Structure 1
């Protein structure tokens, strides 16, 4: 029988585990909340561009016309809000797709060419587009048969 005058000091293992778990949850929440805004914009633009590529690809196959996507060089822009930052070439006249980035303009690197071919053939060939914003980059790719998707995202050191 323990001595009633003797006080137990210290923490139980369960109390320590609860505190460690709470610290881990708080750290994860803070790290997600402090995510780089450039990374957020780049991911949002990448997802949007994938959706636009697939929309243009469907329209190309439906109309039976060649459609390509190409970035517009910065030297062609004069700062006006109506300037294109990218364009879909060959879309039927009834189809209007966006031609500007949602936020800051991105730099674009297209593997093996100056434009992305979107159809009308079902097999368009493997293609890759790299989007850059600051030190962040994201890669969109297709094997030619499957839809475009975000294949990698990283911060360059």
Structure 2
């Protein structure tokens, strides 16, 4: 009986020892890997953000061209400090559009500047005008950010692509 009691006491002491140093190190390495993977996935590439903003803007340009044809009134895009807006031409001048798709927006993707150029022309403009016809003037819009620049090309057929 005495030997059984000693054996039971030894078993209880072993079960109360807790984690070994090796087990703790394995847990810490796994936790470190998970934290580093989470921080990598949360860090976005600024160049990707700029390209995504250009893609969004190219799609909005196509929608604005369609809107001008549907309303039979010119629509324009005007870059502003910190954002941009679309305007519609009325009898008393340009008026901001206030709908969900073409309403005023803030820049995303770290955009710090914009240039508008019409290839083959010396004309410089502060806005792009989308006419009521399906054929328009070719245009290039370049977005600048700390990560670089990206250009949206409008060929004049109502479609825009990012380069």
Fold shared, TM-score > 0.5 on shorter chain: yes
Deviation at 1:36, TM superposition (A): 7.2
Q: Deviations over 1:55-106 (max 9, x none)?
A: 111111001011110101x3xxxxxxxxx61010107967332422234343
**2:97 corresponds to 1:89:** no
When normalised by structure 1's length, the TM-score is: 0.60
**2:111 corresponds to 1:109:** no
Structure with bigger helix share is: 2
Q: Detail structure 1 runs of 4+ shifted over 4 Å in the superposition.
A: 91-94
Aligned residues: 108
> Any stretches of 5+ residues in structure 2 without a counterpart?
1-40, 90-95, 118-123
> Any stretches of 5+ residues in structure 1 without a counterpart?
1-32, 75-83, 153-157
Q: Secondary structure at the match of 1:124?
A: coil
Match of 2:131 in 1: 119
Larger radius of gyration: 2
Greater mean deviation of Cα atoms: 84-93 or 139-148: 84-93
Contact 2:142 2:151 in 1 (8 A): yes
Q: Secondary structure at the match of 1:123?
A: coil
Q: Identify if the C-alpha distance between structure 1 residues 121 and 102 changes in structure 2 by more than 3 Å, giving closer, same or farther.
A: same
When normalised by structure 2's length, the TM-score is: 0.58
RMSD, matched Cα: 2.5
Q: Identify if the C-alpha distance between structure 1 residues 36 and 94 changes in structure 2 by more than 3 Å, giving closer, same or farther.
A: closer
Structure with bigger strand share is: 2
Q: Deviations over 1:19-73 (max 9, x none)?
A: xxxxxxxxxxxxxx8x97220111110110011111111111001011110101x
